[in-house]
Structure 1
Amino acid sequence: MIRFPYGISNFPAIRTEGYLYLDRTQHIPLLEEAGKQLVFLRPRRFGKSLLLSTLVNYYDVKTTNQFETLFGGLEVERNPTPERNRYLILRWDFSKVSAQGSIDDIKSSLFNHLNASVEGFIQTYQDMLRFPVRMQDDDALASFQSLTNAVQGSGQQIYLLIDEYDNFANEVLVRDPHNSRRYQDLLEGEGILKSLFKIVKGSVAEGSIGRVFITGVSPLVLADMTSGYNVATDISLMPRFNTLCGITQPELGELVTGVLQHCGQDENQFDGLLQTLKQFYNGYRFCDQLDKPLLYNPILCFYFLRHYQDECKAPRQMLDGNLMMDAARIRYLASQPSGTGVVERILDEESTITLDVLENRFGVEKLTDLQQDESYLLSLLYYFGVLTIVDTNILGKLTLGIPNLVTRALYVDELRQRILPAPKDRIAVANMAEKFYQSADLQPLADYLEQKYFAAFNNRDYAWSNELTIKTAFLTLLFNDIYYVVDSETALQRRYADLVLVIRPSMRQYPTLKDIVLEFKYLSLSDLKLTGEQVREQSRETLAQLPAVQAALHEALQQLQHYRAVLAEKYQEPQRLHCLAVVALGFDRVVWQTL
């Protein structure tokens, strides 16, 4: 039975208590070569804290006698570096700093954390310090400066490791998107974070700090404190560190095999289970070299595989609740002037999202310019892990896309809450959708769209409505990753149907669920040569006979013929497959025909 280290980032505990550890120690020599002060950015829950714990125990002078126990059998045990067990370790974890309250409250929380770290350092290394450290309860910067002086005077060096350096500053910004004053007070002028990193920079120059390793999610905070700390090397996009965190396909394959063996299940289930994990959790690439492997989110894989190992079936809910915080990032960015439109384009599989380069140095002031320049918003979505690099075009531009289905669900949920802010409306839609999954009867949903949903769009949305807008409307109503894989690319041989709901393998046991394909067409009122009032007055049967509507339905039905053949062959259950051609008449009426 595999002991999955779900939520465990303590390297000694993992190595001594029999938990799974995926060896990344082959990167340690490469990290040393990359520079003395490094910044490494990855999305939340990608294993950054475990990486830091690994480095702590590799470099700590106090763990010399435990080297064989902790690193035996790992790559770095076979090829250790000269700096092994050389440093006194000082570790900060800024996720422990509260973002609540006034700037003075945040400063007090930061000082408490820094002073606690200094006190822990003294307790650990007091036998190696020749000079006392003067603690200042009301000035942790002075405590830290005294510590570096004592270490230097003792002929030692510190390895400073900072986990989630941007956590509380980003929380301040995201919680208060329309008033960035508190954030700016933290970083601008002689803001407390800038002052802290000036001391770090000076201590490295003086030799009391030998190495610095910083992890975080985005470069936003780093940019805003550049004048205080402009000496670090950002290794986040370097190809050789693409797999420093995350799970590779071969590693996951071995884990799936082990779980299936534990459950006594047939090897024939391997491909289906791996495909499910790939659709929901794979897709991350952290460099522009397309030959580098796509990665799986480790915490999500452990969540799924631990449940499967315990219950011998997939979890009902694919998104681990621990990642729901990412929804707040999408909500913040979608609230920007160009945000909602970008989210809609991202959800369109046929839309191409490109960037010349990922922005890696931009301050908070740039967030006010998002309406004119989307590159900052798209770059932040990449760093937050809700976009990734999927390709490069003929000019070398980066093509960005949604990495997987659990991330896609976050975007859909954000749009759903913007269009249907009232909980009672979302509940009503969910109930209608659930009936549709079992009947493929579109009438209740179509009635709702015409009577309530379309009214939620303002005049600007109406003026720019098109096939994508209709597709997005149905997507927000019908997306459900408990029952379905909403992914047309793999199933339909790279010919995109507008919306495909394929029953998840673990849910195919429920016979009332249907596989559903919808193909959308959009006709403007000018195409129809009718007014909105005229369209609303006529029955669906009458509207369906209009020549333009007939032509649109015919085109959609022809496309559905291909999709039906592919899906029927793939899933061998044609009786469960329902294909619908849907034509929107402006933002007023909907007609449809079943293949």
Structure 2
Amino acid sequence: MKFPYGISDFRSIIREDYFYCDRTDKIPLLENTKSQLFIRPRRFGKSLVLSMLENYYDVAKKNEFEEIFGGLKIGKNPTDLRNSYFILKLDFSCVDPTGSAQDVKKALFNHINGCIDGFYRIYKFKGFDLPEIEIDREDALHSIKSLITAVSMTPHPVYLLIDEYDNFANTMMMGVQRSEGRYEAFVHEEGPLRTFFKAIKASTSGSMLDRVFITGVSPVVMSDITSGYNIAKNIYFEPEFNDLCGFRYAELEDVITRIVDECGFEKKKIQEALDLMQTYYNGYTFSHTADESVYNPTLAIYFLEQFEKSCAYPREMLDTNLAVDDAKLEYIAQVPRGRDILMNLMEKDQRVVASRISKRFGIKDMLTDKSRDNTFLVSFLYYFGVLTIVGDTEDMEVILKVPNLVMQGLYVERIQKMLLPEPEDRDDGRDAAKLVYQKGDMAPLCRFMEDRYFKVFHNRDYRWANELTVKTA
């Protein structure tokens, strides 16, 4: 059995017989809307969805349809639109977010121009009679217009796929090189990202840029673009797409059963492995009416690959490639009340109640959020995978919590770094905590707390020490 760890090329996964959970039955549902925005946390399988659409709709792969899709659900009843588009695919995670706003603009335009140039060369090589596309190295928007003009002289419209639309913009907003005004200059008014999406919006008014599918991590950047691109339907809360990315319990039960049989374990090992995976990797719900939560696919494949190869569970349940970006966590901690929310989430089964999860909100909304339930910040944490939907209160407010043990562990580690930036202090604290739960010896932990946190008090203050003293320290 082969597991596609780190592989997001749909064609390779199917042709080389990798483990794949069929989601091609979602394709007809996706055809109901021409422009869509699909949001999921990082490393949740979004790029594979785009690759599936690319292979299904690409007119140049018409002769490969039976080989790629013949054994899948959509192969039994394909839609009329299959293999009828030129595919233009952009991946904004490839855009360098460092340097000045002008540097990032150049990187963005270089990426767009490179993709358009590749588009022209590949389709010409495959025998399509495309008029020449003029690549403007200084203005990628002109290159887009030239592409649309060229395509209008052919019988095939364009399907535009944009992966990680907010990747470099999020880094500009929250990364280590963030500076005041750089992000805002890029997305507001006539900033490069906003004008790009305005050009895409204008191109969809004709018939040649017929469909657009965009993936990302949060709606913040799209909201900050405002009217630059306000035609995309948000499909990320739709119950029918809850499992478009991610694995269902029954799918994992099937593959675990096969691994247990191959390794010669007793049948009870199946439930043991499933319980372990559920504790560490399950718990993501992306719709209020979804009937089942899903597993993080990257983590699940990491576990399955290790289990199948060695007939033993991974020594580390966390795949280090999923580690949280420290800069983003530090950014959240600097947002009003952000640090308090992160700290509270580390308590056992800590839940958060919010009036709603906001579908659209900009960075200013989050930074100036005065709502009682921190709607925008809670929404932000939900989109980044820190929180997930649990249910609703009687008053129809949303209940959220940390989805699983891996996410809780990731954030405990990062919060330790926030509170104890020096590695030596973290090691001392960890050793002191071990003595409490291993031997019941609290003295070292008390000394640690006093040395690190209570230096701000005089001896006379300890006479009145209480819970407030700890919080103040």
Tell me the TM-score normalised to structure 1 length: 0.75
* Counterpart-to-counterpart distance in 1, 2:321 and 2:211: 32
Deviations 1:323-358 (A, max 9, x none): 113454333212212111111222234654112221
Corresponding residue for residue 361 of structure 2: 362
Corresponding residue for residue 212 of structure 1: 212
Alignment of 1:31-180 (within 5 A): 31-33=30-32, 35-126=33-124, 127-175=127-175, 179-180=179-180
Q: Is the 8 A contact 2:123 2:130 kept in 1?
A: no
Q: Cα gap change, 1:288/1:177 in structure 2, threshold over 3 Å: closer, same or farther?
A: farther
* Counterpart-to-counterpart distance in 2, 1:177 and 1:342: 25
- Report the secondary structure of 1:115's partner residue: helix
* Counterpart-to-counterpart distance in 2, 1:388 and 1:87: 36
Corresponding residue for residue 526 of structure 1: none
Alignment of 1:46-445 (within 5 A): 46-126=44-124, 127-175=127-175, 179-289=179-289, 291-349=290-348, 351-370=350-369, 372=371, 374-436=374-436, 438-445=438-445
Give the partner amino acid of 1:330. L
Q: Is the 8 A contact 2:220 2:361 kept in 1?
A: yes
Q: Is the 8 A contact 2:109 2:140 kept in 1?
A: yes
* Counterpart-to-counterpart distance in 1, 2:5 and 2:188: 38
User: What is the CA-CA distance between 1:130 and the residue it aligns to?
Assistant: 4.4
* Counterpart-to-counterpart distance in 2, 1:194 and 1:120: 24
Deviations 1:150-173 (A, max 9, x none): 101223200000000000000111
- Report the secondary structure of 1:287's partner residue: coil
* Counterpart-to-counterpart distance in 2, 1:139 and 1:49: 27
* Counterpart-to-counterpart distance in 2, 1:156 and 1:164: 26
* Counterpart-to-counterpart distance in 2, 1:172 and 1:38: 24
* Counterpart-to-counterpart distance in 2, 1:303 and 1:441: 38
Q: Is the 8 A contact 2:324 2:410 kept in 1?
A: no
Q: Which shifted more, 259-268 or 24-33?
A: 259-268
* Counterpart-to-counterpart distance in 2, 1:371 and 1:409: 29
- Report the secondary structure of 2:377's partner residue: helix
Q: Is the 8 A contact 2:120 2:130 kept in 1?
A: no
- Report the secondary structure of 1:38's partner residue: strand
* Counterpart-to-counterpart distance in 1, 2:251 and 2:235: 23
User: What is the CA-CA distance between 1:232 and the residue it aligns to?
Assistant: 0.8
Q: Which shifted more, 388-397 or 366-375?
A: 366-375
Deviations 1:4-31 (A, max 9, x none): 1111000111011121111000100001
Alignment of 1:432-581 (within 5 A): 432-436=432-436, 438-449=438-449, 451-455=450-454, 532-534=461-463
- Report the secondary structure of 1:120's partner residue: helix
- Report the secondary structure of 1:389's partner residue: strand
User: What is the CA-CA distance between 1:273 and the residue it aligns to?
Assistant: 1.4
User: What is the CA-CA distance between 1:282 and the residue it aligns to?
Assistant: 0.4
User: What is the CA-CA distance between 1:532 and the residue it aligns to?
Assistant: 3.8
Q: Is the 8 A contact 1:284 1:295 kept in 2?
A: yes
- Report the secondary structure of 2:246's partner residue: coil
The answer to whether 1:23 aligns with 2:50 is: no
* Counterpart-to-counterpart distance in 1, 2:178 and 2:19: 44
Q: Cα gap change, 1:286/1:142 in structure 2, threshold over 3 Å: closer, same or farther?
A: same
Give the alignment's Cα RMSD to 1 decimal.
Answer: 2.1
- Report the secondary structure of 2:56's partner residue: helix
Q: Cα gap change, 1:419/1:65 in structure 2, threshold over 3 Å: closer, same or farther?
A: same
User: What is the CA-CA distance between 1:58 and the residue it aligns to?
Assistant: 0.2
User: What is the CA-CA distance between 1:321 and the residue it aligns to?
Assistant: 1.1
* Counterpart-to-counterpart distance in 2, 1:206 and 1:335: 44
Q: Cα gap change, 1:139/1:162 in structure 2, threshold over 3 Å: closer, same or farther?
A: same
Deviations 1:382-415 (A, max 9, x none): 0001100001110111101000011111222232
Q: Is the 8 A contact 2:90 2:162 kept in 1?
A: yes
- Report the secondary structure of 2:3's partner residue: coil
Q: Is the 8 A contact 2:350 2:401 kept in 1?
A: no
User: What is the CA-CA distance between 1:178 and the residue it aligns to?
Assistant: 7.0
User: What is the CA-CA distance between 1:114 and the residue it aligns to?
Assistant: 0.6
Q: Cα gap change, 1:375/1:535 in structure 2, threshold over 3 Å: closer, same or farther?
A: closer
Q: Is the 8 A contact 1:118 1:143 kept in 2?
A: yes
User: What is the CA-CA distance between 1:73 and the residue it aligns to?
Assistant: 1.6
Q: Cα gap change, 1:180/1:24 in structure 2, threshold over 3 Å: closer, same or farther?
A: farther
Give the partner amino acid of 2:53. L
User: What is the CA-CA distance between 1:440 and the residue it aligns to?
Assistant: 3.8
* Counterpart-to-counterpart distance in 2, 1:14 and 1:440: 52
* Counterpart-to-counterpart distance in 1, 2:191 and 2:227: 11
User: What is the CA-CA distance between 1:180 and the residue it aligns to?
Assistant: 4.0
Q: Which of structures 1 and 2 has the larger relative contact order (alpha carbons within 8 angstroms, sep 6+)?
A: 2
Q: Is the 8 A contact 1:129 1:151 kept in 2?
A: no
- Report the secondary structure of 1:227's partner residue: helix
User: What is the CA-CA distance between 1:313 and the residue it aligns to?
Assistant: 1.8
Q: Is the 8 A contact 1:177 1:332 kept in 2?
A: no
Corresponding residue for residue 549 of structure 1: none
* Counterpart-to-counterpart distance in 2, 1:269 and 1:394: 40
* Counterpart-to-counterpart distance in 2, 1:18 and 1:79: 22
* Counterpart-to-counterpart distance in 1, 2:255 and 2:219: 33
Q: Is the 8 A contact 1:326 1:384 kept in 2?
A: no
* Counterpart-to-counterpart distance in 2, 1:42 and 1:107: 26
Q: How many residue pairs were aligned?
A: 466
Q: Is the 8 A contact 1:336 1:371 kept in 2?
A: no
Q: Which shifted more, 334-343 or 227-236?
A: 334-343
- Between the aligned residues of both structures, percent identity stands at 40
Corresponding residue for residue 5 of structure 1: 4
* Counterpart-to-counterpart distance in 2, 1:193 and 1:215: 15
> 5+ unaligned residues in a row in structure 1: which ranges?
460-529, 537-583, 589-595
User: What is the CA-CA distance between 1:271 and the residue it aligns to?
Assistant: 1.6
Q: Is the 8 A contact 2:435 2:442 kept in 1?
A: no
* Counterpart-to-counterpart distance in 2, 1:586 and 1:183: 39
User: What is the CA-CA distance between 1:431 and the residue it aligns to?
Assistant: 3.0
Q: Is the 8 A contact 1:330 1:381 kept in 2?
A: no
* Counterpart-to-counterpart distance in 2, 1:341 and 1:89: 46
Deviations 1:25-68 (A, max 9, x none): 010000101x1001000001111000000000000001111111
* Counterpart-to-counterpart distance in 1, 2:467 and 2:23: 56
